[in-house]
Amino acid sequence: MSTKTDWITAELDGLRQQGLYNSIRTIASPQGAWLQVDGQRVLNFCSNNYLGLANHPHLRAAAAAAVEQYGVGPAAVRSIAGTLDLHGQLERRLAAFKGVEAALTFQSGFNANLATIPALVGREDVIFSDRLNHASIIDGCRLSGAKIVAYDHNSSAHLQQVITAERAAGFRRALIVTDGVFSMDGDIAPLPEILAVAQREDLLLMVDDAHGEGVLGRGGRGIVDHFGLHGQVDIEVGTLSKAFGVVGGVVAGRPVIVEWLRQRARPFLFSSAMPAPDAAACLAALDLLEASTELVDRLWDNARYFKAEMQRLGFDTGVSATPITPVMLGEAPLAQEFSRRLFARGVFAMAIGFPTVPRGKARIRVMISAAHARADLDQGLAACAAVGRELGVIH
Ligand SMILES: *Cc1c(COP(=O)(O)O)cnc(C)c1O
């Protein structure tokens, strides 16, 4: 008997003992306020489907029409034979939506980060990265080979301090990178202050707006619009997999950067394009977002209501300023038990623990959506209250 995978078995056992083993549930229905999960109909408090677009009739129709017109697969990387007219249209429309001159789409937001960061900095360079940045930013930074200097979360003062220290040591180029909205806590990066540092130091600034698109700014135009910083942030990375309801990534910003990515970004050059139905569905999402702010407004109404009611019940919802609603519980086993009991009451809300959040900061993360009716939120609140009392989290 071979023993070369025994260490994996031991690690997996360790995860189970610490309450960190991730049990993945299976969904057998479209995304929406309610899901069929492991054979049970449950209220959906987990997904990033902020605007309810993942199963929206307009997007479904656009994707179905694109299947008829283009088929299902791109059949090539974009630089060889995979760039469709739909990709070009989507990029022009995304750039206009974001108020920038150029945009480039990728297969996912994760890929957009892996593509962009190593194309901009390398071995002789430095990246100044918020300590709580998303895993895909961290991996993009590692892949670049640049020196990574983490600055304290959302602290422009500490950012300035570490830049000054690195200047003394010397570097060729540098990039400042931050999440726009931090996905586990729901707080918003102080972009104007970070931009002021970037401008003072004349460094490239990149923001990952994955949880800001479709959520922040006028009609969901994102964090740059939220702060009115058009034309000043060099690179906006984003995802089409959250509020847009489809799957894909986007880089928007200066035309020269987008042109460079088309020449040098490795996931663009060596991985096949986003499929036509996805691109068509994203275009349909833009139609909806440009036509009306109704969905974004409903998302915020729902989020404000839910968060205020949770706080009134006595829950700690952390520092969120967005529809992301963490319910802070502390230890991972408590968060897992909370999630299991919610599920038994017909509410699907996942426990999140280390390494996604720091040890001792385990939580349930409730994701509010425009797809929720007020009655759905009330039902979810009642379940949270009951489980919270059972487990002694609230009184
Ligand atoms: C979700 C997320 C991504 C990844 O997006 P995908 O399109 O799902 O790959 C990247 N960055 C941040 C900040 C995210 O929250």
**CA atoms of 47 and 129, how far apart (whole Å):** 27
- What is the residue type of 256? V
pLDDT at 23: 82
For residue 23, give Cα distances in angstroms to 16, 27, 146: 10, 13, 35
Query: Of ligand 1's atoms, which has the minimum distance to the CA of residue 183?
Result: 15
Confidence of residue 355 (pLDDT cuts 50, 70, 90): confident
Q: Using the predicted structure, report yes or no on whether residue 71 has a pLDDT greater than 80.
A: yes
Residue 239 Cβ < 6 Å to ligand 1: yes
Mean pLDDT, residues 301-316 taken together: 98
Q: Which atom of ligand 1 is nearest to the CA of 211?
A: 15
Q: Which one of 117, 241, 251, 367 would you pick to mutate in the ligand 1 pocket, going by the greatest count of ligand atoms within 8 A of its CB? A: 241
Does residue 105 line the site of ligand 1, with CB under 6 A? no
Q: What is the pLDDT of residue 2?
A: 79
Cα-to-centroid distance, 109 and ligand 1 (Å): 5
Give yes or no for residue 110 CB within 6 A of ligand 1.
Answer: yes
Angstrom CA distances, 311 to 317, 332, 381, stand at 7, 21, 11
Expressed in percent and rounded to 5, the helix, strand and coil fractions of the chain are: 45, 15, 35
Q: Is 249 in the pocket of ligand 1 (CB under 6 A)?
A: yes
Residue 1 has pLDDT above 70, yes or no: no
Evaluate: CB of 179 within 6 angstroms of ligand 1.
yes
* Active site (catalytic) residues: 183, 211, 242
Percent of the chain clearing pLDDT 70 (strictly above): 100
Instruction: Identify the three-state secondary structure at position 365.
Output: strand
183 lines ligand 1 (CB under 6 A): yes
For ligand 1, atom 12, name the residue with the nearest CA.
210
CA of 164 to the centre of ligand 1 (A): 30
Q: Is pLDDT of 148 > 70?
A: yes
Query: Separation of 170 CA from ligand 1 center, angstroms?
Result: 32
Mean pLDDT of 33-59: 97
Q: Is the CB of 211 under 6 A from ligand 1?
A: yes
CB under 8 Å to 235, separation ≥6 — which residues? Answer: 116, 120, 204, 205, 206, 207, 251, 252, 253, 254, 257
Strand order in the sheet with 204-208: 102-106, 249-253, 235-239, 204-208, 174-179, 126-130, 147-151
> 394 pLDDT band (50/70/90 cuts)?
very high
Which of 47, 130, 183, 215 is the pocket-test mutation for ligand 1 (most atoms within 8 Å of CB)? 183
Read off the pTM: 0.95
Q: Is the CB of 49 under 6 A from ligand 1?
A: no
2 CA to centre of ligand 1 in angstroms: 38
pLDDT value of residue 382 = 98
User: Residue 97 C-alpha to ligand 1 middle, in angstroms?
Assistant: 19
Q: Which pLDDT tens digit goes with each residue over 320-338?
A: 999 999 999 999 999 999 9
Q: Domains along the chain?
A: 25-50+293-390 (3.90.1150.10), 57-291 (3.40.640.10)
User: In this model, does residue 70 exceed pLDDT 90?
Assistant: yes
Q: Please tell me if the CB atom of residue 238 comes closer than 6 angstroms to any atom of ligand 1.
A: no
Ligand 1 pocket test: pick from 110, 116, 208 the residue with the most ligand atoms within 8 Å of its Cβ: 110
Atom of ligand 1 nearest to the CA of 239: 7
Site to substitute for ligand 1 among 50, 116, 136, 187, most atoms within 8 A of C-beta: 136
pLDDT digits (tens, 9 = 90+) for 247-297: 999 999 999 999 999 999 999 999 999 999 999 999 999 999 999 999 999
> Is pLDDT of 54 > 80?
yes
Q: How confident is the model at residue 206 (pLDDT cuts 50, 70, 90)?
A: very high
Query: Looking at 5-14, 212-221, 354-363, which range is the least confident one?
Result: 354-363
**Residue-averaged pLDDT of the chain:** 96
